[in-house]
Amino acid sequence: MRTFVLAAAAALALGACASDPAATQTTVASGAPAAVEPTRIIAPGVTEAWRVGGFQLPESVTLDPRRNVLYVSNIAGEPTGKDGVGYISRLGFDGKVQQEQWVTGLNAPKGMAVRGNTLYVSDIDVLAVIDIPSGKVTARYEAPGAKFLNDIAVDRQGRVYVSDLLDNAVWRLEGKRFTQWLKDEKLLSPNGLQVRGDELIVASWGVFSGQGLATTTAGHMKAVSLKTKAIRSIGSGAAVGNLDGLEFLRDGSFLVTDWISGGLMRIDRTGKATQLVDLPQGSADHAWLPRQRLAVVPMMLQGEVVAFRLK
């Protein structure tokens, strides 16, 4: 059963890169949830606060602290399909859906980031810019040659960084110029992004084996100098997992999800990982609400968003 779930997940998440395109069409069209293992809380002091379903391949959840709302990106159709059926939902901190289809007309929206009145959304090979007060897409920046734009981070100067999972690259929007900022195999398939000080922190997926989402070597945490673009491993560089979502905790550690194995973990400054919750496969780009101490995780293959309260 685990092998079947992995194959289906690979088809869903990478579309054209999956080994069985026919299976991709069947799974996405039917919307049937994958047969998966149940959630199992491991760490003491962690509790499930709420969960809500009805989403369509939810890939990312991001916090808007100014409006006390969460945004959820829904791929809805093919993960690499330019079909215009993707959308963004608005979700309250209590798990109640405020607006199911707040922004529509996207293709396969994934990572997001908020800065002021602007929501940035990665959309396959485009960075979409949304004016939050109006809920309208005000700009689309194309990334020629990009393969799979994923997570987003914004630095103190307002420059926007976007990971390209399948091309070992990071793109950057500076002003109105959207260019490939860095391409290096040392990034190990960059997924989750955050800016801390003068570094871009990267949660890497690992080295792809050529078989769907499988890797020959799983990923770990990386740090990239914003000034020199030098790349270093955080910790020993030992494999941790197929990392997806990335958030900071106040003690300097990282809150990270693993898409393939399924799970929410804490990684300390030395790179040591501690599993907090075992999750079904497909745990994607989560949000962290520090005041509520909530980790809000989109479960892509189950069409759910689940919140966990950390002690």
Domain boundaries, the chain: 2-310
Check if CATH label 3.40.50.300 holds for domain 2-310: no
Would you state the pLDDT for residue 3? 33
pLDDT band at 55 (very low <50, low <70, confident <90, very high): very high
Would you state the pLDDT for residue 109? 98
What is the C-alpha to C-alpha distance for residues 279 and 265, in angstroms, rounded to an integer? 10
What is the C-alpha to C-alpha distance for residues 116 and 56, in angstroms, rounded to an integer? 27
| Coil, helix or strand at residue 277 | strand
Residues 177-227 have pLDDT tens digits of 999 999 999 999 999 999 999 999 999 999 999 998 999 999 999 999 999
What DSSP element (H or E) covers 118?
Answer: strand 118-122
Structure tokens at 43: 């760490």
Pair type for strands 169-174 and 215-218? unpaired
The separation between the first and the last C-alpha atoms of the chain, rounded to the nearest angstrom, is 34
Q: Which residues pair with 63 in a beta bridge?
A: 70
Would you state the pLDDT for residue 311? 87
Residues 74-126 have pLDDT tens digits of 999 999 999 999 999 999 999 999 999 999 999 999 999 999 999 999 999 99
Task: Give, as one character, the DSSP assignment of residue 283.
Answer: B
Average pLDDT of the chain to the nearest whole number: 90
Would you state the pLDDT for residue 17? 41
Predicted TM-score (pTM) of the model is 0.90
Would you state the pLDDT for residue 37? 65
